[in-house]
């Protein structure tokens, strides 16, 4: 009987651990999504700021012809920065996609473990019913029969003695 209790406790602990793991993975995915949204928004703001800066620099370049070479270099550097920001945004997008795929895989694994745990719980319940409850009911019925027989035997007056002798098989209850 203690093995069954241990099995039930183990199944319960496993279910709780699985639930906690699922919650932590879900919380991690949400946190990563929020971080990526913040980074995306900041990169857009940085890109807008860079675009405004490039526009202002172009105006200065047009008004100051002798400094045009310096502004062209600055513009090319800003273009490189803009490309770098775009590449980082793309890397972040790829990262989010990978996290999403891993989360889906983990959710699938969690679903499998939960289904398997439920199936094992049902099998355990059926085994307990077959191995414990049915024999207990049979023993209880047998003891009730003995009790009824003894009650009948001791509460009645002694029947008249008969001269017939019964074989042992016929006297067995």
Largest Cα separation within the chain, whole Å, is 143
Please report whether residue 154 resides in a domain. Answer: no
Nearest one of 105, 129, 98 to 113, comparing CA atoms:
105
148 has a pLDDT exceeding 70 = yes
Q: How large is the average pLDDT for residues 77-85?
A: 89
Residue with tokens 């526009």: 55
CA distance 169 to 25: 69
Please report whether residue 171 resides in a domain. Answer: no
Please report whether residue 60 resides in a domain. Answer: yes
The pLDDT, as a whole number, for residue 165 is: 55
Please report whether residue 138 resides in a domain. Answer: no
User: What's the chain's average pLDDT?
Assistant: 84
Compare 163 and 131 and report the one with higher pLDDT: 131
How many structural domains does the chain have?
1
Please report whether residue 139 resides in a domain. Answer: no
Q: Is 114 helix (H, G, I), strand (E, B) or coil?
A: helix
* Model confidence pLDDT, tens digit, residues 3-32: 889 899 999 999 999 999 999 999 999 999
The pLDDT, as a whole number, for residue 67 is: 59
Compare 63 and 48 and report the one with higher pLDDT: 48
CA distance 135 to 144: 14
Which range marks the domain in which residue 72 is found? 2-132
């Amino acid at each position: 009987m203690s093995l069954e209790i241990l099995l039930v406790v183990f199944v319960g602990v496993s279910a709780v651990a699985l639930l906690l793991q699922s919650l932590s993975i879900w919380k991690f995915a949400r946190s990563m999504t929020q971080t990526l949204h913040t980074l995306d928004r900041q990169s857009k703001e940085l890109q807008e700021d860079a675009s405004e800066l490039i526009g202002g620099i172009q105006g200065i370049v047009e008004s100051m012809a002798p400094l045009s070479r310096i502004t062209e270099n600055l513009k090319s550097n800003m273009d490189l920065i803009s490309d770098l920001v775009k590449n980082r945004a793309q890397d972040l997008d790829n990262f989010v996609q990978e996290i999403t795929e891993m989360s889906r895989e983990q959710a699938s694994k969690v679903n499998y473990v939960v289904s398997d745990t439920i199936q094992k719980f049902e099998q355990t319940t059926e085994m307990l019913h077959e191995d414990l409850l049915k024999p207990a009911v049979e023993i209880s019925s047998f003891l009730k029969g003995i009790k009824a027989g003894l009650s009948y035997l001791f509460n009645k007056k002694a029947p008249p003695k008969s001269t017939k002798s019964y074989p042992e098989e016929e006297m067995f209850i």
